[in-house]
Every structure is written in structure tokens, then in C-alpha cells.
Structure 1
Amino acid sequence: MSSSDRELESAIRNLLASRAADSSICPSDVARAIAPKDWRPLMEPVRAAARRLMSAGEVRITQGGKTVGDPSTVKGPIRIVRSD
């Protein structure tokens, strides 16, 4: 895992920690926190970091308010939520 992967995972954790326990974040929130002016290229790396954290049991990835079964196949907007 690269240092940028660890940075993305850390940013997800930090943003979630700064919100209410039942709040979620968008991958774009993470990307904008790291690269405010050039955040779009980070969208897929952020989604990949969220998938790793979901595999580790740290977060859930939701779509339409429901936890996705297989985050590697989900298309469209997602949210990242702390695991229960």
C-alpha cells in the first residue's frame, strides 16, 4: 500500500470522526480535503480506499441509504459511513 493510499484512508477516518456518529461522507468530501483545486482525479482512489476500509470492517459503503453487498461492483453515487 502506498503512502497516498494510507493518506486517503486516514482522510476518510478523520472526516468521519469529525461528524456525528450516524453521519456519512461522500468520496468527493475526502478528495476535496486532500486536493481542493484538483480533486476529481482522486475520486476512484478514494472509492478504492473506502472499499479497503469496508473489507477491514471500519466503514460501510451505502447507496440509497442501504449498505451495498459488493462495493467493487457498485456504480453511481455512494456514501461512506462508520461501521456500527
Structure 2
Amino acid sequence: MTGGEQRTDRRLEQAIRDLLERRSPTATICPSEAAREVYQGDDDGWRSLMEPARRAAQRLAEAGEVEITQGGRPVRSAEARGPIRIRRLR
């Protein structure tokens, strides 16, 4: 992993934390919100950060900081297929 990738990973993790902090305690966010916050452009380039954002959420979930959900229910990130949401750990 390059230094730039590591910085992006850390920025995505922090973006997830910051977004959740600004929301109500029960709110969820989409990984795309973190990708958009980190991406520095006006086009759809944020889409290239979607998988890194999902991986950032997975790392935070494994660290016990957040929970990944599908259909409002917690799921293990390795088992999640399709759209996910991220929320504070309950």
C-alpha cells in the first residue's frame, strides 16, 4: 500500500467518524457520503473511493467503533453484499 493510499484510508475513516458525529445518535450514513467528503473534485470521481470507503467502514467495525447494517440489521462486513449503511455501535 502506498503512502497516498494510507492517507486516503485514514481520511475515509475520519470522514465516517465525523459524519456520524454530526448526526443524531441513531442515524446512519452511506459510504458514498464519506467518499464524497474525501474526494476533492466536482465530478463523479468520488465513485472511485466507494470500495475504499466500504473497507474503511469494515476496519472501523472490526475495531468496535461502528456497525454495518443492511435492511436496518447489523451484518458482518465480510458477508455484506450490495448497499450498506454505517451507524454508531449500539
Q: TM-score when scaled to structure 2?
A: 0.86
Flag the structure with higher helix content. 2
Extract unaligned runs of 5+ from structure 2: none
Identity of aligned residues (%): 53
Provide the secondary structure at the position in 1 that maps to 2:77: coil
Provide the secondary structure at the position in 2 that maps to 1:29: helix
Higher-Rg member (1/2): 2
Which of 72, 83, 86 is 1:65 aligned to? Answer: 72
Quote the RMSD (CA, aligned, Å).
Answer: 1.3
Extract unaligned runs of 5+ from structure 1: none
Counterparts of residues 3-82 of structure 1 (less than 5 Å): 3-35=7-39, 37=43, 38-68=45-75, 70-82=76-88
CA offsets 1:41-78 (integer angstroms, 9 cap, x no match): 0000000000000000000000000000x211311110
Provide the secondary structure at the position in 2 that maps to 1:16: helix
Provide the secondary structure at the position in 1 that maps to 2:79: coil
Q: Structure 1 stretches (4+) deviating beyond 3 angstroms?
A: none
- Equivalent residue letter for 2:89: S
Q: TM-score when scaled to structure 1?
A: 0.92
2: CA distance, partners of 1:43 / 1:31: 6
